Amino acid sequence: MTISLEQAVASLRDLPAETQDALARLLLQFAGVDQPPLEMSAEETASFDESLAQAERGEFATDEQLRAIWAKHGL
């Protein structure tokens, strides 16, 4: 393993387990290892369905709302 990869893995050790699992799945996909499809919870499915319905109605975030979200995360 390269030093860069070792540093990257070490920096992820303190992240929540769910985040570590998501990043591991991505890394495995990048490496060409097939991953099983993710299963969404009933709550996640309902949220996704509501998001699609909002998009179909043309209900999108304003530029101001997007700037606030980016600022909240320091971007």
Separation CA 75–CA 36 (nearest Å): 32
Q: How far is CA 12 from CA 28, 31, 35, 75, in A?
A: 15, 18, 20, 20
43 domain-assigned: no
Q: Please indicate, yes or no, if residue 18 is contained in any of the structural domains.
A: yes
pLDDT of residue 3: 95
The answer as to whether 47 is a domain residue is no
Q: Is residue 16 in a domain?
A: yes
Q: What is the pLDDT of residues 23-50, one digit of tens each?
A: 998 999 889 888 777 789 999 999 999 9
Is 44 a member of any domain?
A: no
Q: Assess if residue 2 is contained within a domain.
A: yes
Residue 5 belongs to some domain of the structure: yes
> Looking at the 3D structure of the chain, how many domains does it have?
1
Domain carrying residue 25: 1-29
